[in-house]
Amino acid sequence: MALSTMNREKEETMWSNIAGRMLVHTILHPMDFAKVLIQIGHEPIAPRESRTLFGKPALALPNIIHYVKYIKSVDGFSGCYRGLVPKLCADAVSTVAVEKFMESEYFLKYFPERDTRKEEIIDDLPEPERRDAYVKTLAKDIVCRIIGVIASHPLDVIALRTMAQFVGGETKYNGIFGSLKEVYRENGLFGYYSGLVPRLIANISTLVLVSSSTYFINKYLIRDRALKRYTSSAVTIVATTITYPLLVIYPCMAVNNCGLAAGVPPQMPIYTSWLDCWRHLSSINESKRGSNLIWRYYTGPQVIINGRLTALNKSDFFKQVS
């Protein structure tokens, strides 16, 4: 009876957490939508002359608020919520998959619930036990993250492609079941996991960087228990900055050559692999696009015409070639 009550409480907590995240995702979706378009390289608003924070002449791109207003001006208020449904479904599937896996005999065999300890308790353990606890926690987090990402990735691909349709005004990816068929028609079974590798590498690398850095900083540099609580948050900011280019490659590969204008030239080259995408974005200094959503500057080719700084975009090059 007690076990049944405990399981019911876990179920209620899980669905309560899912509902909370769904609410947050719904509120923030217009900005997430705009960020995805920025990451895949769609810049419909021409950059304007401006200056950087240090006074250097530059071409400024619209910030995230202006970008959302542009989306609304084109598609209306409801258009700001393209891709929300598959995104919410992906989050729910990820959470449920992880929770169910954590309850499995296989998981409990290697990560018994009695060994799960809070960080404050781990810090009080003798050094060998403390190190082992950190390693075990990291391993558990990596396994859970892999399970969640793999389970939800097909729905994430649908969400990204649904949002990418804004670029060309298509309606190919419409509804979850219709989109699943369209993904298979365009790219086969592998299409459901387009961009999976860079996404997994980004997630796992971030976990490893945060966990290992937090452990060594708290062990060798910080003695104040109150300050140790903030180490993980501070390190997470640095780690996500390092791995961010992979989170740009992931949506690019999910959209690339999928039958949408957003995934083919002139909007985007057709990449042979995610490494090809990484090399290309690095070569044009766009591997971190979308990392700063407030102060955004055009980093592509620029010329001075009649004393004014002017951007040369992809369309200009295609016009010259034709």
Q: Looking at residue 118, what is its pLDDT? A: 52
Tens of pLDDT, residue by residue over 15-45, are 888 889 999 999 999 999 999 999 999 999 9
SS3 content of the chain, % helix, strand, coil (to 5): 70, 5, 25
Tell how strand 48-51 and strand 302-305 pair up: unpaired
Q: Is the dihedral of CA 221, 227, 229, 230 positive or negative?
A: negative
Domain ranges of the chain: 15-321
Q: Which two tokens stand for residue 138?
A: 């990291």
Q: Looking at residue 262, what is its pLDDT? A: 97
- Looking at the structure, give the CATH architecture of the domain made up of residues 15-321: Alpha/alpha barrel (1.50)
Q: What angle do CA 170, 291, 232 make, to 5 degrees?
A: 130
Q: Which two tokens stand for residue 313?
A: 């975009």
CA distance linking residue 257 with residue 271, whole number of Å = 8
DSSP structure class, residue 257: T
Q: How many residues does the chain have?
A: 322
Report whether pLDDT(317) > 50: no
Question: Which residues are within 8 A (CB) of 317 and not within 5 positions of it... i.e. 6 or more apart?
Answer: 266
Q: Looking at residue 310, what is its pLDDT? A: 67
Average pLDDT over residues 232-247: 94
Type of residue found at 133: A
pTM over 0.85: yes
Report whether pLDDT(103) > 90: no
CA distance linking residue 49 with residue 57, whole number of Å = 7
Coil/strand/helix, residue 137: helix
Average pLDDT over residues 273-293: 94
CA distance linking residue 78 with residue 75, whole number of Å = 7
Between the CA of residue 178 and those of 1, 51, 154, 173, 189, what are the distances in Å? 43, 46, 13, 7, 15
Question: Which residues are within 8 A (CB) of 262 and not within 5 positions of it... i.e. 6 or more apart?
Answer: 40, 42, 164, 165, 166, 167, 168, 255, 268
Q: Which two tokens stand for residue 136?
A: 């075990």
- Which one, of 116, 30, 113, lies nearest residue 72 by Cα? 30
Tens of pLDDT, residue by residue over 121-175, are 556 666 677 788 888 889 999 999 999 999 999 999 999 999 999 999 999 999 9
**Token pair 């509804």 in the structure block, residue:** 175
CA distance linking residue 90 with residue 156, whole number of Å = 6
Average pLDDT over residues 103-132: 67
Q: Looking at residue 183, what is its pLDDT? A: 97
Q: How many CB atoms lie within 10 A of CB 188?
A: 9
